[in-house]
Structure 1
Amino acid sequence: MTMSTENALPDTAQRVASLLRELGHDQPVVMLPESGRTSAEAAAGLGCSIAEIAKSIVFRRVADDAAVMVVASGSNRVDEKKVAAIVGALAKADARFVREKIGYAIGGVCPVGHLQKSVMLIDQDLLQYPKVWAAAGHPHAVFSLTPQQLVAMTAAPVADIALQT
């Protein structure tokens, strides 16, 4: 794991670093030497458990074409039926939809700084960890925060969204 100065960050990660500073967040954006596109890749690069990765999954709400983002524990699969029961019927979101509505490419979708207001939910399972890691706008960029900071930054409700296996 390498620490990068903000000027060395890719444009989208610089945008996230600036936004985090504006929000009063004191943790830096970190560039992973390898990709963090998946929870497993990010966890391996950070030396943390997969469950401590706050992965962002975007759906399209059928009723109004709004983006629905679920920030889930990296070890959980999202139960789309549980999410739909809270926010309404869902459809898959393709890469174009995610980029247009959220403003980030898949693999680096940050839970803050969206282009358009999105509907958000946070996985209740993230609350058991003292620190989690979220994408910072680029497949190699991440930042750490507490689950409480995640809830405060996003103003998203915490919900049971995990698929029970």
Structure 2
Amino acid sequence: MAIEKVRAHLKKWGRSEDILEFEASSATVDLAAQALGVEPARIAKTISFRFQAGALLVVAAGDAKIDSAKFKREFGFKAKMLTPDEVPAYIGHAIGGVCPFGLNEDTPVFLDVSLQRFKTVFPACGSSNSAIELTCDELNEYSLNKKWVDVCKGWEEE
């Protein structure tokens, strides 16, 4: 089970017992925000894209959307999301529980700057009813982030 892979991953930092599990689904940004009682923007959603022979992940704030032009400038190719059928094979987690922890090997993670406006954020933990509260520094460390990127739109103050 993917949540057990995440538990094993977070154990390295002594955080495996901090995973929150809910009775209700937290599979979408809105459902996770409801389950946690926080604004949707604080949900750290993980988006999976096709990359070479595998995938890459971008973790962004719940109110952010991928900006195709920024994505192409950053990564050098057009953003193409994995299909729901491809996600478990490439990432190791099913849709609704995709997170930047306990991944299949060689899956690079990139954190979007949209997250940095919050003291803490809530990524999923491998299941459709789990999350953990982390600072951006913790998320950066635990996700093995390759680098902070600016590939989203729609979240900035106008």
> Which interval holds the TM-score relative to the shorter structure?
0.7 to 0.9
Shift of 1:26: 6.3
Q: Is the counterpart of residue 95 in structure 1 residue 50 in structure 2?
A: no
Q: Runs of 5+ in structure 2 lacking a partner?
A: none
Residue aligning to 1:35? 25
Secondary structure at the counterpart of residue 50 of structure 2: strand
Shift of 1:164: 4.2
Aligned residue pairs total 153
* Residues 27 and 145, structure 1, Cα contact 8 Å, conserved in 2: no
Cα distance in structure 2, aligned partners of 1:143 and 1:66: 26
Cα distance in structure 2, aligned partners of 1:16 and 1:112: 5
Cα distance in structure 2, aligned partners of 1:156 and 1:22: 19
User: Which of the residues 50, 75, 79 maps onto 2:67?
Assistant: 79
**2:14 corresponds to which letter in structure 1?**
G
**Alpha-carbon RMSD:** 1.7
Cα distance in structure 2, aligned partners of 1:151 and 1:23: 13
Residue aligning to 1:117? 106
Cα deviations across residues 140-159 of structure 1 (Å, max 9, x unaligned)? 01111111111112233112
Cα distance in structure 2, aligned partners of 1:156 and 1:36: 26
Cα distance in structure 2, aligned partners of 1:131 and 1:26: 17
* Residues 17 and 28, structure 1, Cα contact 8 Å, conserved in 2: no
Residue aligning to 1:163? 153
* Residues 36 and 107, structure 1, Cα contact 8 Å, conserved in 2: yes
Give the TM-score normalised by structure 2.
0.88
Judging changes above 3 Å, is the alpha-carbon distance between structure 1 residues 116 and 141 closer, same or farther for their aligned structure 2 residues?
Answer: same
Alignment of 1:132-151 (within 5 A): 132-151=121-140
Q: Runs of 5+ in structure 1 lacking a partner?
A: 1-10
Cα distance in structure 2, aligned partners of 1:128 and 1:68: 23
Judging changes above 3 Å, is the alpha-carbon distance between structure 1 residues 119 and 26 closer, same or farther for their aligned structure 2 residues?
Answer: closer
Identity %: 29
Give the TM-score normalised by structure 1.
0.84
Shift of 1:79: 1.2
Residue aligning to 1:131? 120
* Residues 6 and 126, structure 2, Cα contact 8 Å, conserved in 1: yes
